[in-house]
Amino acid sequence: MSGGEKKTPRAAVVREFETPAGLPAVLVDCRDSGVFSVEKTFDCGQAFRFSPVGGDPRVVCGSVRIGEGEDARITVDGTREEEGFLTLAGCTAEEFGSRWRTYLDLDEDYGAGEKRILDALPEGASRDAMADALRAGRGIRLLRQDPWEMLVTSILTQNNNIPRIRGIAARLCAASGGRFPDPADILRIGTEGLYALGCGFRAKYLTDAAERTADGRADPRKIEAMGTEEARAVLEQIRGVGPKVASCALLFGYHRTEAFPVDVWMKRALAEIFPDGVDPTLFGEWAGYAQQCMFWAEREKGRRSWQ
């Protein structure tokens, strides 16, 4: 699952059309791709620049960084996801094939991943609890995001929550001409400017990340070519980047799906599901997906307890 290996296509464009607003759009058949939940994928703490459209969490609109000084915007409509279809607005059939199929990770077999996770566990209460977490999180996809964007947003996750992270990301984009800031933009804004945008103590971490990326010490292209542990070591040299932030950057920015970020939510989930402890390396390249399902299930418990 990790790396850039070629996958067998599991999703295909079945219709190309134009929205009432004049945007190109495609209807994508995902029935061979397994469940894809727009709500879970875009609200599980991996992407922070998408918002529900009209209050419906099954339809989100947002932008992603696709290169230096360049963003792409898309609307992902999952109102037909139970039928196995997605609608992407702001996307041609060619763009689906060249960008969005990969970004949405539509060619990965997540059903096989669930089996791999459960097969790694012995029969018993923990295996049953893990199965429950996988059912709760089913439909989450590990988005293949831009490494620099994910480094920045992963730094912003420290002692933070999803709505606040989204707000900070939006202000950073507004201060960078409406697109996601490049390292040069972060350095231009400066540490004090980042404080003013609400980054708080994370401002100095972002400045250091920008400096190291700009001068090549944390060049994403170099990190991409490294093994996971070497890449982790380079990321953890950035000020304020510890194991959790580095794991998020590796999982969501470099698609190192063996990465397993642990925060407060995950500590709770691990304590409940595996009271005797567990080594996440048991799950191999599906550890990151297992983490996301446990994270989602734990958050859902928290939400229900607030109602």
Per-residue pLDDT of 126-135, as tens digits, reads: 999 999 999 9
For the stretch 80-103, pLDDT in tens is 999 999 999 999 999 999 999 999
pTM for the complete prediction?
0.94
The pLDDT of residue 1 is: 63
Residues 85 and 154 in one domain: no
**Residue 78 and residue 122 in one domain:** no
Cite the beta strand spans of 32-123 per DSSP E: 50-53, 56-67, 70-77, 85-89
| Nearest-angstrom CA–CA distance, 183 and 36 | 33
CATH number at residue 196: 1.10.340.30
Measured in whole angstroms, the distance separating CA 277 from the mean position of its chain's CA atoms is: 26
Please check whether residue 6 lies inside any domain of the structure: no
> Is there a single domain that holds both residue 48 and residue 88?
yes
Q: Clarify whether residues 136 and 264 are in a common domain.
A: yes
282-302 mean pLDDT: 94
Examine the pLDDT at 9 and tell me if it is beyond 90: no
The answer to whether residues 285 and 248 belong to one domain is no
Q: Minimum mean pLDDT among 98-107, 108-117, 298-307: which range? A: 298-307
Q: Does 307 score more than 60 pLDDT?
A: no
How many angstroms separate the Cα of 4 from the Cα of each of 1, 144, 244, 293?
8, 10, 23, 23
In a domain, 99, yes or no: yes
Which residue reads 């970004």 in tokens? 103
| Residue 195, in any domain of the structure | yes
Residue 27 lies in domain = 12-103
Residue 96 domain-assigned (yes or no): yes
- The pLDDT of residue 66: 96
| Percent over 70 (pLDDT), the chain | 96
The average confidence (pLDDT) of the chain is: 95
| Percent over 90 (pLDDT), the chain | 93
Q: What is the pLDDT of residue 303?
A: 59
* Same domain for 208 and 177: yes
Nearest to 206 by CA among 223, 230, 181, 231: 181
HSE, CB side, 13 Å, CA atoms: give it for residue 87: 16
3-state secondary structure of 86: strand
**Residue 159 sits in the same domain as residue 247:** yes
**Cα dist from 24 to 16, 95, 134, 135, whole Å:** 7, 10, 35, 34
Per-residue confidence (pLDDT) for residue 306, from 0 to 100 = 32
**Both structure tokens of 102:** 């990969």
Q: pLDDT tens, 162-201?
A: 999 999 999 999 999 999 999 999 999 999 999 999 999 9
Residue 143's pLDDT band (cuts 50, 70, 90) = very high
- DSSP sequence for 3-48: SS-------EEEEEEE-TTS-EEEEEE-TTT----HHHHHSSSS--
**What tokens were used for 43?**
């609200």
The mean pLDDT of 20-46, rounded to a whole number, is 95
- The continuous run of DSSP H or E covering 169 comes out as helix 162-174
Q: Do 168 and 249 fall within a single domain?
A: yes
Whether pLDDT at 15 is above 90: yes
Give 299's pLDDT tier (boundaries 50, 70, 90). Answer: confident
Q: Based on the fold, state whether residues 209 and 279 are members of the same structural domain.
A: no
Only one residue has tokens 């063996």, namely: 258
Q: Output the domain CATH number for residue 24.
A: 3.30.310.260
Please indicate, yes or no, if residue 248 is contained in any of the structural domains.
Answer: yes
Half-sphere exposure of 8 (CA within 13 A, CB side): 4
- For the ranges 6-10, 78-82, 106-110, 234-238, which has the lowest average pLDDT? 6-10
The more confident residue out of 262 and 4 is 262
Instruction: Please report whether residue 2 resides in a domain.
Output: no
Q: How many domains does the chain have?
A: 3
CA nearest neighbour of 274 among 112, 121, 119, 135 = 121
What's the average model confidence in pLDDT over 100-109? 96
Do 164 and 17 lie in one domain? The reply is: no
Using the CB atoms, write b or e for 252-265: b if 16+ within 10 Å: bbbbbbbbbbebeb
